[in-house]
Structure 1
């Protein structure tokens, strides 16, 4: 059942992308109703700060880990022919 669902999502990447965008918009919209009177951090005063912070953090981790994998894990094309 889960395999069918994942296959369905792989065949429709636009649906998955727009569902993530809709969730991000929902998170930022929900943040308008948050209580900001007792903020402990300067980012708590900004609407949508934590949603954008999470998005940027995830994208930065993806770029960093992909770069690290190219440097550390990637082998030459003829590595196994040697």
Structure 2
């Protein structure tokens, strides 16, 4: 039950943040997406849904790219001419 709450809360929040026009809010999507991943893994492994485990690995990689882009190597906007 806790895994389902974690998936819904953190997963929906991450998806919602990806669609924000405000870049300051958008950068938090990857954080909440990464927080949701252990809940996905636990739920998928407990129910032997190996396709979801594989998909969770891919999503984790994608959220890590966002983390790198927003937090490790911040995106610098190009100067306007």
Calculate the TM-score normalised by the size of structure 2.
0.33
Of the two, which has the highest radius of gyration? 1
